[in-house]
Amino acid sequence: MGQYRDIVEHGLWKQNPGTMQLLGLCPTLAVTSTAVNGLSLGLATALVMAASNAAVAPVRRYVPDEIRIPVFILVIAALVTIIDLSMNAFVHPLYVVLGIFIPLIVTNCIVLARVEAFAAKNPITPSALDGLMMGLGLTLVLTLLGAVRELVGKGTVLSGIDLVFGAEAKAWVLQLIPDYPGFLLAILPPGAFIGLGLLIATHNWLEQRRLAKASMQAALPVAQSH
Amino acid sequence: MSRSPYLSSAPSVSVIMLKVLLALLPGIATYVWVYGGGILISLALATLTALLAEAAVLRLRQRPVLPFLMDGSAIVTAWLLALALPPLAPWWLVVVGTLFAIVVAKQLYGGLGYNPFNPAMIGYAALLISFPVLMTQWPSPLELAKVSLSFTDQWHYIFMRSLPLGVPVDAISSATPLDYLKTQLILQQPISDISNTPIFGWLGGRGSELVALAYLLGGIYLLQQRIISWHIPLAFLATLTLLSGTFHLFAPGLYASPQFHLFSGAAMLCAFFIATDPVSGPTTPLAKLVFAAGIGVLTYVIRVFGAYPDGIAFAVILMNMCVPLLDAYTQPRVFGHEK
């Protein structure tokens, strides 16, 4: 069980793709203008990652080393096509908003990175879990970044939720700051870079505090025994 | 009579900043005379915000607060930003711009001496792309305004956005000469007709040209005090003159005169106070010349061919990016070393 716990912890926190590995920056920066966009693309990516890791792990021994990258990409591309067509069919308005970034999940380096670094060396269950957790870690960052940019830029949270749940969901949009003049910079690309930088700083700060606390607790019993 | 050894010591940061502030005073005084006392409110707001923000971030970063506050660099940033903004901008615009300049553009990069971009210009650019309408709403000079606001009226307008009864916004605001020139040229009016309107003076815009002249005066004081070297102001103004002069010479009906470009917008403020920032600017003499010439070219290109009426902020930021490269390629030969 310890192995699975490690996988979860690495995906969501210690090696978070968005704030630690800094992979998959293209969608992180481009589509996170709202929380809904970030969450949707994040979930789509997580689904692709779990499926591609699960698909590559069983065939890992039969793929010749020299051509493994094209094979992996083909598997990923097939899975992304499925997601792309399904989203077009079931959540069409959202599909229109996310546009080219759904097919582009194929070229998202975090997907290939997990296949290459994890699924090509591990059995199927941990591989699938790793893909899912890394994907959810990315989703977390995308959603958070989207929420912050949306709040600062437009003063709302969950705008665009009607694209997922239909027109009646429009009432769920929270206008947190009434009469907000809008801060366009947060919606524009510079806002994404600044927001991501602040998220990375927060992650590092929390991690440092955690380590400092852990080392203090570790030092405490030693000090008492003397 | 001083005693040996005759070593000249470089002035401290606070002395430099104090002299820069002193050099801005004639410009501010003229500003008040032309546009009314509203600018003083902006200046005070920006100064207060800058000092508070600087102190808060320094505390967070666990640096000594008082020595860094006393160096005056935050006040210079605040003043430059306030002078670049439209004088009757709402109070929160000044506060947001100053916060962005001090917290993001200066302190997040490591504070004084480490910021790669001019903080005041980053604050200005952030506001310009976020609030384009407010940022291009300039009040008319008092002598041209249909209704002139008293200091209390300006105070109310800045803090409450309320004007005296029966006064529409149009009565106190007008297009700046650069803005007016651009829109009229699109309508294919010849320059000679455009510059016959009352908002144009004998050099640049009526009223604003006096402010520009006062900045020039302050700039000459800074040169005389050796706070800034001649390279950046001269190269910037010369490039702007040369470019606008060439275009004006060949098509005087389509391109404004060099003196109009020199005395409009923020050109004079940029030449002596903004581009000469010692932190975000280059250090070698040759790099300074190239840097300032680049700002001159970009300013002219943005003003004449771009979408924005004035291009100082973007020109300075773009050239700030080139500074490490310029400095690296223009290192002078060290005595005794081969090239």
In this prediction, residue A222 carries a pLDDT of 55
Rounded to the nearest integer, the mean pLDDT of chain B is 88
Structural domains in chain A (count) = 1
In this prediction, residue B282 carries a pLDDT of 93
In this prediction, residue A126 carries a pLDDT of 92
Q: Are strands A174-175 and A156-157 parallel, antiparallel or unpaired?
A: antiparallel
Measured CA to CA, the distance from residue B300 to residue A161 in angstroms comes to 45
pLDDT confidence band for A106 (50 / 70 / 90): confident
Distance of CA B34 to the CA centre of its chain: 17
Question: Are B115 and B278 a contacting pair, CB within 8 Å?
Answer: no
Judging contacts by C-beta atoms under 8 Å, the chain A residues touching residue B131 are: 181, 184
- Give 3-state DSSP helix, strand, coil % of chain A, rounded to 5: 80, 0, 15
Judging contacts by C-beta atoms under 8 Å, the chain A residues touching residue B126 are: 185, 190
Put simply, whether A189 touches B (Cβ < 8 Å) is no
Read off the pLDDT of each residue in B136-145 and give the average, rounded to a whole number: 78
Helix (H) or strand (E) holding A156: strand A156-157
Question: Are B77 and B102 a contacting pair, CB within 8 Å?
Answer: yes
Measured CA to CA, the distance from residue B208 to residue B310 in angstroms comes to 14
Instruction: Nearest chain B residue to A194 by CA: give it.
Output: B104
Domain of residue A66 covers 2-219
Q: Residue-wise over B159-182: b if at least 16 C-beta within 10 A, else e?
A: eeeebeeeeeeebbbbbbbbbbbb
Radius of gyration (C-alpha) of chain A in whole angstroms: 20
A224 lies in a domain? no
The reply to whether residue B129 touches residue A188, judged by beta carbons under 8 angstroms, is: yes
The reply to whether residue A183 touches residue B104, judged by beta carbons under 8 angstroms, is: no
Mutate one of A152, A179, A185, A198 to test the B interface: name it (highest B CB count within 10 A): A185
Measured CA to CA, the distance from residue B163 to residue A117 in angstroms comes to 65
pLDDT confidence band for A184 (50 / 70 / 90): confident
pLDDT confidence band for B121 (50 / 70 / 90): very high
Rounded to the nearest integer, the mean pLDDT of chain A is 85
Report how far apart, in Å, the C-alpha atoms of A82 and of each of A51, A57, A78, A115 are: 11, 19, 7, 18
A61 lies in a domain? yes
Q: How much is the ipTM here? A: 0.77
Question: CA of A154, closest CA in chain B: separation in Å?
Answer: 11
- Which of A94-103, B138-147, B314-323 has maximum average pLDDT? B314-323
A225 lies in a domain? no
Instruction: Nearest chain B residue to A184 by CA: give it.
Output: B130
The reply to whether residue A185 touches residue B104, judged by beta carbons under 8 angstroms, is: no
Judging contacts by C-beta atoms under 8 Å, the chain B residues touching residue A184 are: 129-131
Instruction: Return the SS3 of B205.
Output: strand
Count Cα neighbours of B201 within 13 Å in the Cβ-side half-sphere: 21
Torsional sign, CA B51, B53, B54, B58:
positive
A45 lies in a domain? yes
Omega into B5 within 30° of 0, i.e. cis?
yes
Measured CA to CA, the distance from residue B119 to residue B78 in angstroms comes to 9
Put simply, whether B105 touches A (Cβ < 8 Å) is no
In this prediction, residue A155 carries a pLDDT of 81
Report how far apart, in Å, the C-alpha atoms of B176 and of each of A58, B182, B184, B208 are: 69, 10, 12, 9
The reply to whether residue B129 touches residue A194, judged by beta carbons under 8 angstroms, is: no
Put simply, whether A178 touches B (Cβ < 8 Å) is no
- Give 3-state DSSP helix, strand, coil % of chain B, rounded to 5: 65, 0, 35
Read off the pLDDT of each residue in A9-15 and give the average, rounded to a whole number: 84
Radius of gyration (C-alpha) of chain B in whole angstroms: 21
In this prediction, residue B339 carries a pLDDT of 64
Question: CA of B181, closest CA in chain A: separation in Å?
Answer: 27
Read off the pLDDT of each residue in A24-43 and give the average, rounded to a whole number: 85
> Which residue's structure tokens are 């009426």?
B309
Length of chain B: 339
Distance of CA A206 to the CA centre of its chain: 19
Judging contacts by C-beta atoms under 8 Å, the chain B residues touching residue A194 are: 104
Convert the pLDDT of each residue in B16-69 to its tens digit: 899 999 999 999 999 999 888 889 999 999 999 999 999 999 998 888 888 888
A46 lies in a domain? yes
What DSSP string describes A160-204? TTHHHH-GGGGGG-EE-STT----HHHHSHHHHHHHHHHHHHHHH
Helices B285-305 and B312-329: angle between axes, nearest 10 degrees: 150
Judging contacts by C-beta atoms under 8 Å, the chain B residues touching residue A190 are: 126
Lowest-pLDDT range of A91-95, B9-13, B205-209: B9-13
Instruction: Nearest chain A residue to B126 by CA: give it.
Output: A185
In this prediction, residue B271 carries a pLDDT of 93
A226 lies in a domain? no
Identify which has the larger pLDDT, B322 or B142. B322
Put simply, whether A219 touches B (Cβ < 8 Å) is no
Put simply, whether B129 touches A (Cβ < 8 Å) is yes
Show Cβ contacts of residue B245 under 8 Å, excluding neighbours closer than 6 positions: B258
Identify which has the larger pLDDT, B89 or A1. B89
In this prediction, residue A221 carries a pLDDT of 63
Count Cα neighbours of B277 within 13 Å in the Cβ-side half-sphere: 28
Read off the pLDDT of each residue in A116-126 and give the average, rounded to a whole number: 90
Q: Which of A183, A194, A197 sits opposite B130 (nearest CB)?
A: A183
The reply to whether residue A185 touches residue B126, judged by beta carbons under 8 angstroms, is: yes
Token pair belonging to B146 = 């249909």
Percent of chain B with pLDDT over 90: 50
Convert the pLDDT of each residue in B308-328 to its tens digit: 888 899 999 999 999 999 999
In this prediction, residue A223 carries a pLDDT of 52
Instruction: Nearest chain A residue to B97 by CA: give it.
Output: A183
Mutate one of A183, A196, A208 to test the B interface: name it (highest B CB count within 10 A): A183
Question: CA of A184, closest CA in chain B: separation in Å?
Answer: 4
Residue B177 has pLDDT above 60, yes or no: yes
pLDDT confidence band for A127 (50 / 70 / 90): very high
Q: Which of A181, A188, A194 sits opposite B104 (nearest CB)?
A: A194
In this prediction, residue B97 carries a pLDDT of 94
Residue B173 has pLDDT above 80, yes or no: no
Measured CA to CA, the distance from residue B76 to residue B274 in angstroms comes to 10
Judging contacts by C-beta atoms under 8 Å, the chain B residues touching residue A185 are: 126, 129-130
In this prediction, residue B1 carries a pLDDT of 53
Mutate one of B117, B130, B134 to test the A interface: name it (highest A CB count within 10 A): B130
Convert the pLDDT of each residue in B265-311 to its tens digit: 889 999 999 999 989 999 999 999 999 999 999 999 999 998 888 88
Measured CA to CA, the distance from residue A94 to residue A113 in angstroms comes to 27
The reply to whether residue A182 touches residue B129, judged by beta carbons under 8 angstroms, is: no
pLDDT confidence band for B236 (50 / 70 / 90): very high
Judging contacts by C-beta atoms under 8 Å, the chain B residues touching residue A155 are: none
Read off the pLDDT of each residue in A92-113 and give the average, rounded to a whole number: 86
Question: CA of A138, closest CA in chain B: separation in Å?
Answer: 25
A191 lies in a domain? yes
Residue B88 has pLDDT above 90, yes or no: no
In this prediction, residue A1 carries a pLDDT of 65
